[in-house]
């Protein structure tokens, strides 16, 4: 008998949880949706979400946060360097290198990232404690805002020259 891959077990457990959960919606499973966008697979229902994230070698999921839910990530292929920054005044960074089968939890509202440190593709599944996966990517929000944040604010906040801010904003337009 062939061994069942761990990622398949995760997906099956997710499906089982969805079928057993209840919600105030008269037909909770009508909210189930799966969408493929680039290399991310999303499934949202009953107050939880699941995403599959495919990383190319040295690919990065840029620093971002989820204001509405905690994230738990499991690597099913490859090696990821992951971390989050605490939201207190210490701004303490917690990191770990994750290999196949390893799991890491990113607390709700904390800035975090994932980086494929391997020379091969990596795949991870991320579960979220919210049906609304809302993502705020830090660089996009700061340097890609519309209208742009005033140069004086950004040069003072980042303690850099106006030309640096201008260059960064051009990367996000």
Binding site per annotation, positions = 61, 64, 66, 71, 112
Pair 44, 93 in one domain: yes
**What residues form the annotated binding site for oxalate?**
61, 66, 71
Asked whether residue 6 is assigned to any structural domain, the reply reads no
Kindly report the CATH number assigned to the domain that includes residue 96: 2.60.120.10
User: Band of the pLDDT at 146, cuts 50, 70, 90?
Assistant: very high
Euclidean distance between the first and the last CA atom of the chain, given in angstroms as a whole number: 53
Are 116 and 31 in the same domain?
A: yes
Buried b vs exposed e over 32-61: b needs ≥16 C-beta within 10 Å? eeeeeeeeebbbbbbebbbbbbbbeeebeb
Q: How confident is the model at residue 88 (pLDDT cuts 50, 70, 90)?
A: confident
Q: What pLDDT was estimated at residue 20?
A: 36
Summarize the annotated binding site for Mn(2+) as residue ranges: 64, 66, 71, 112
Judge if 112 and 167 occupy the same domain. no
Other C-beta atoms closer than 10 Å to the C-beta of 155 total 16
Note down the domain range covering 163: 138-172
Split at pLDDT 50, 70, 90, the class of 107 is very high
pLDDT band at 17 (very low <50, low <70, confident <90, very high): very low
33 with 103, same domain: the answer is yes
* Stretch among 32-36, 66-70, 93-97 having the lowest mean pLDDT: 32-36
pLDDT exceeds 70 at position 38: no
User: What total number of domains does the chain contain?
Assistant: 2
CA 149 to chain centre: 25
Q: Are residues 155 and 70 in the same domain?
A: no
Residue 95 lies in a domain: yes
Say if 98 falls within a structural domain.
yes
Predicted local confidence at residue 2, as pLDDT = 52
Q: Within this chain, do residues 63 and 143 fall inside the same structural domain, yes or no?
A: no
């Amino acid at each position: 008998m062939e061994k069942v891959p761990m990622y398949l077990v995760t997906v099956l457990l997710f499906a089982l949880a969805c079928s057993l959960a209840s919600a105030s919606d008269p037909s909770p499973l009508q909210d189930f949706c799966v969408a493929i966008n680039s290399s991310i697979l999303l499934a949202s229902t009953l107050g939880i979400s699941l995403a599959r994230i495919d990383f190319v070698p040295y690919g990065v999921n840029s620093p971002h946060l989820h204001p509405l839910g905690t994230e738990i990530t499991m690597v099913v292929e490859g090696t990821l360097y992951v971390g989050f920054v605490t939201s207190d005044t210490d701004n303490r960074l917690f990191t770990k290198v994750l290999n196949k089968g390893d799991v890491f939890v990113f607390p709700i509202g904390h800035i975090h990232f994932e980086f494929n440190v391997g020379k091969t593709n990596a795949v991870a599944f991320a579960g979220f404690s919210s049906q609304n996966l809302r993502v705020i990517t830090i660089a996009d929000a700061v340097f890609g805002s519309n209208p742009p944040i005033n140069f004086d604010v950004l040069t003072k906040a980042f303690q850099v020259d106006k030309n640096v801010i201008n260059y960064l904003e051009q990367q996000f337009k």
